[in-house]
């Protein structure tokens, strides 16, 4: 498939915003190709779930667009020495400093709302990408422990960002250093850890007052570390794509509920993860994999579904047992199907001379 590199080349060569209309058109082309111009049975967003999470790993172009362009705002925040002289970030930092003094380019990742005075289209675009990533990962700058305290537009006093050299000299730089859970540490504790003097108490109270205006809901240290690792290692784009990809749990809540209802049991998150991981590796045969996928996503057209589409059709089981043709009935409950599995068991007894018990795993079955 050489279409993906061609599209990736487009995204990565020009830092500019692509309209959502364009992504919708591309997705439509993908769906038409995959389902041979027929109506799709499994939506593209479900097929784009990574293979390890139960999907088919069909590339999602919007996620690639985010992952490719996320490199720039993430470099501001996480790259070791982002402002190396001559680097792209160094140029951007200069543009910011020329317009708004005392604001670090790193803070734009945590508060991706570009100041009105900054007219640079590339910085503005990177801020828009950062906003989209925050929305996708359900984070904000305050939920990341690496959020810088100084020269950050999030924390201002008298309209100016905080810039306290005496605290900086004590090596206090990020929010994670001074928070305990979702609250700022007591002054005595900070005093001991960072060797502060009593003269720092005024700044402590000032900062505490600023922080009290925010609501800390979720401090996401894990994600913060993941983003930092991604930007400082090889295969940055592929790591970011994995982080930004939606999983089965986000898209398939209704399917999970229906399975639990049918099987009359609760399936834990760990059990789901095992099911999803195995669904793609259960067989090497593509046909069996497809069957597994269709069962997992409940995409088979059953008599019950046919009846919902067209009331003149019957919703009864095709085997003539007189019961409603639901998915679970057709797969297991129907007497004809049970009879079939009985014959398989007998055939195996003859061939491999082993008696196999047909196990009933769930109460309803
Ligand atoms: Zn039946």
Tell how far the Cα of 306 is from the centroid of ligand 1, in angstroms: 15
Tell how far the Cα of 300 is from the centroid of ligand 1, in angstroms: 15
Contacts of residue 55, Cβ cutoff 8 Å, sequence gap at least 6: 46, 47, 48, 49, 248
Domains of the chain, residue spans: 3-40+61-143, 156-212, 252-334
Q: What is the pLDDT of residue 360?
A: 56
In sequence order, the β-bridge partners of residue 160 are 157
Tell how far the Cα of 274 is from the centroid of ligand 1, in angstroms: 30
8 A C-beta contact, residue 246 and residue 45: yes
Angle, in degrees to the nearest 10, between helices 88-99 and 121-137: 100
Tell how far the Cα of 302 is from the centroid of ligand 1, in angstroms: 11
Tell how far the Cα of 333 is from the centroid of ligand 1, in angstroms: 7
Q: Look at residue 183 and give its three-state secondary structure.
A: strand
pLDDT in tens, the chain (365 residues): 688 888 888 888 878 888 999 999 999 999 999 888 888 888 888 888 888 888 888 899 999 999 999 988 898 888 777 677 777 777 888 888 788 778 888 888 998 887 777 888 888 899 999 999 999 988 888 888 898 888 888 888 887 888 878 888 888 888 888 888 778 888 888 888 888 888 888 888 888 888 888 776 677 888 899 999 999 888 899 999 999 988 778 788 889 999 999 888 888 889 998 888 888 778 888 888 888 888 888 988 899 998 988 888 888 999 989 999 999 999 888 999 888 888 988 898 899 888 777 665 554 44
Tell how far the Cα of 362 is from the centroid of ligand 1, in angstroms: 19
- Give CA–CA dist 42/297, Å, rounded: 7
Tell how far the Cα of 331 is from the centroid of ligand 1, in angstroms: 9
8 A C-beta contact, residue 142 and residue 155: no
Tell how far the Cα of 320 is from the centroid of ligand 1, in angstroms: 6
8 A C-beta contact, residue 212 and residue 34: no
8 A C-beta contact, residue 179 and residue 145: yes
Tell how far the Cα of 341 is from the centroid of ligand 1, in angstroms: 14
Q: What is the pLDDT of residue 361?
A: 52
Q: What is the pLDDT of residue 65?
A: 92
CA atoms within 13 A on the CB side of 28: 6
Q: Look at residue 179 and give its three-state secondary structure.
A: strand
The torsion defined by the Cα of 121, 127, 132 and 138, in degrees rounded to 10, comes to: 180
Tell how far the Cα of 335 is from the centroid of ligand 1, in angstroms: 6
Residue 102 DSSP class: T
8 A C-beta contact, residue 94 and residue 88: no
pTM: 0.81
Tell how far the Cα of 143 is from the centroid of ligand 1, in angstroms: 53
Tell how far the Cα of 338 is from the centroid of ligand 1, in angstroms: 10
Tell how far the Cα of 318 is from the centroid of ligand 1, in angstroms: 6
- Give CA–CA dist 223/209, Å, rounded: 27
């Amino acid at each position: 498939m050489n279409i993906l590199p061609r599209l990736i080349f487009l995204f990565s060569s020009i830092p500019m915003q692509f309209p959502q209309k364009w992504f919708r058109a591309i997705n439509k082309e993908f769906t038409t190709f995959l389902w041979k111009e027929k109506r799709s049975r499994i939506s593209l967003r479900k097929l784009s779930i990574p293979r390890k999470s139960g999907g088919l790993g069909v590339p999602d172009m919007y996620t690639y667009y985010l992952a490719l362009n996320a490199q720039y705002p993430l470099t501001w925040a996480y790259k070791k020495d982002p402002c190396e002289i001559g680097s792209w970030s160094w140029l951007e930092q200069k543009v910011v400093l020329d317009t708004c003094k005392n604001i670090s380019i790193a803070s734009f990742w945590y508060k991706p709302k570009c100041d009105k005075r900054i007219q640079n289209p590339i910085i503005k675009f990177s801020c828009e990408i950062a906003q989209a990533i925050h929305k996708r990962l359900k984070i904000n700058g305050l939920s990341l422990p690496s959020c810088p305290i100084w020269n950050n537009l999030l924390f201002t006093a008298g309209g100016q960002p905080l810039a306290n050299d005496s605290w900086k000299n004590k090596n206090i730089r990020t929010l994670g250093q001074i928070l305990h859970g979702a609250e700022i540490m007591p002054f005595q504790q900070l005093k001991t850890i960072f060797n502060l003097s009593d003269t720092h108490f005024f700044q402590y109270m000032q900062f505490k007052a600023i922080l009290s205006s925010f609501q800390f809901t979720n401090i996401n240290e894990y994600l913060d570390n993941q983003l930092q690792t991604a930007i400082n290692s090889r295969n940055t784009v592929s790591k970011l794509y994995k982080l930004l990809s939606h999983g089965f749990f986000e898209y398939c809540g209704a399917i999970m509920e229906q399975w639990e209802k049918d099987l009359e049991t609760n399936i834990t998150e760990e059990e789901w993860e095992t099911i999803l991981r195995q669904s793609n590796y259960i067989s090497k045969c593509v046909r069996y994999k497809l069957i597994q996928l269709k069962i997992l996503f409940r995409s088979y057209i059953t008599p019950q579904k046919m009846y919902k589409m067209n009331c003149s059709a019957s919703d009864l089981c095709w085997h003539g047992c007189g019961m409603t043709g639901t998915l679970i009935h057709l797969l297991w409950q129907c007497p004809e199907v049970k009879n079939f599995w009985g014959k398989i068991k007998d055939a195996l007894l003859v061939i491999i001379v082993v008696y196999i018990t047909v196990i009933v795993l769930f109460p309803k079955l």
